[in-house]
Structure 1
Amino acid sequence: MQIPEAAATAAADARPTGRRERKRRQVRDQLYAAALDLFVSQGYETTTMEQIAETADVARATVFNHFSQKVGFLEEWGAHRRARVAELIGSSQLGDLSTGDQLRRYLREMAELNIASRPETTILMDAAARVGSLLHDRSLEIELAKIVERGRQRGELRTGVDADQVGTMLAACYFSTVLRWIRVEPAPFDLRDRLDSALDVTLFGILDGKGEGPPPGR
């Protein structure tokens, strides 16, 4: 199975780095910053690898040494977003929070990042949905499933809940909500409130409690 460029980069970052590797990381970050600036200013499709090289002041071959395809920048962008949320959450004490509150905090931090950089999100999320691996990359659903699984192990969830399925549902909801949010200018709704509401549906369901209830053992 082919490992996405962003995942390979994350694995490389976990290893001790020497001077040569730090230099390589610096060049990669330089290319990434140049690409994002160009994507936001002139669009993803119209930006070329040659323009990225020129903006970053490196040889064209250097770009391909770090990103074999332009779509690699989209994968890197998604990895940066998730890493930033992990950093923000990691700096807080979440162990005492319920599973629902942890999921709400995670989605809220993702929403805040998108709101703070709406022009960037509009360009790159749209491109990732059309030409990238947005709908196939399981990274976000895996992170959300981890939170659900920890709650399952603590006995907070009803019997039979599949953490992976919940992670998949929440990730799909997140992406579809953000894609609707970026389609209209100005933003057609508050992203934080909409994700909160979607999470409530997942956590509490849609029945009023007067129905038959879940099947036995569920």
Structure 2
Amino acid sequence: MTSPEAQTAAPAPGRRERKRQQVRDQLYEAAIGLFVAQGYEATTMEQIAERADMARATVFNHFSQKVGFLEEWGARRRARVAAILGQESAENLPVGTRLRRYLREMGELNMTSRAETAVLMAASARFGQLLQDPSLELELARIIEHGLRRGEIKPGVDAVQAGSLLAAGYFSGILRWTAEDPPPFDLPDRLDRVIDIVLAGILA
């Protein structure tokens, strides 16, 4: 008998889609490698195409602007964290623990690739939409909304605003953590304190 999970699972991608994703992955890896090696500003779309051994037009077919690689970088990190927490059935955890786990996993990704994080976060802040992009705050807001439904959050708390506060604290912490060498503070501890401050205001 087919399980409900199997019945609702998305169909496996076809050969064409798999090939397209493979090309996109190759371009992405080439771009990130160049950004770290020589800087975001110094890297051109032509260099990305050359490093990936693809035509310049192929780059633009997948990423119409160089800033698209920055957006992809952020999206892939959030997806990795979501996958990790999904495997752990984190939706069953108390809302405070779940928020802490989410930002801790994000922090761990940054700690294991600090040079990459320093370059990509700085470029995202200067050339991208780092502080305007609502993706992270909406992910955090969904966790808070779940806590609201379970009665763990004070009634009337604006989940999106609370998510925005957490996201702002996260980005501020990462930018300061990567601005100096060696790092000026312990990143997981800083993120925990950000969560403590917000939770003190929203928990029931």
Aligned: 1:47 with 2:46:
no
d(CA) in 1 for partners of 2:24 and 2:93?
Answer: 37
Query: What's the CA shift for 1:16?
Result: 4.8
Alignment of 1:177-192 (within 5 A): 177-192=173-188
d(CA) in 2 for partners of 1:173 and 1:119?
Answer: 21
1:14-66 deviation digits (Å, cap 9, x = unpaired) = 67522112111110100000001100111100011010000000011111111
Aligned: 1:59 with 2:64:
no
Alpha-carbon distance change, 71 to 15 in structure 1, aligned in 2, over 3 angstroms: farther
d(CA) in 1 for partners of 2:173 and 2:31?
Answer: 25
1:158-207 deviation digits (Å, cap 9, x = unpaired) = 121111110111111111111111110111111100000111011115xx
- Identity over the aligned pairs, expressed in percent? 66
Query: What's the CA shift for 1:98?
Result: 1.0
Amino acid at match of 2:98: Q
Query: What's the CA shift for 1:95?
Result: 3.6
1:110 alignment partner in structure 2: 106
List runs of 5+ in structure 1 lacking aligned partners.
1-13, 206-217
1:170 alignment partner in structure 2: 166
Match of residue 199, structure 1, among 186, 189, 195: 195
2:80 alignment partner in structure 1: 84
Amino acid at match of 1:24: R
2:130 alignment partner in structure 1: 134
d(CA) in 2 for partners of 1:100 and 1:136?
Answer: 25
d(CA) in 2 for partners of 1:15 and 1:44?
Answer: 36
Query: What's the CA shift for 1:141?
Result: 0.4
Q: Determine helix, strand or coil for the equivalent of 1:186.
A: coil
RMSD value, Cα: 1.3
Larger helix proportion of the pair: 2
Query: What's the CA shift for 1:93?
Result: 2.6
Query: What's the CA shift for 1:138?
Result: 0.6
List runs of 5+ in structure 2 lacking aligned partners.
1-9
- How many residues are matched? 193
Q: Determine helix, strand or coil for the equivalent of 1:143.
A: helix
Amino acid at match of 1:115: M
d(CA) in 2 for partners of 1:179 and 1:129?
Answer: 9
d(CA) in 2 for partners of 1:202 and 1:163?
Answer: 11
Query: Which stretch of structure 1 is more off in the superposition, 16-25 or 85-94?
Result: 16-25
TM-score, normalised to structure 1's length?
0.86
d(CA) in 2 for partners of 1:72 and 1:182?
Answer: 22
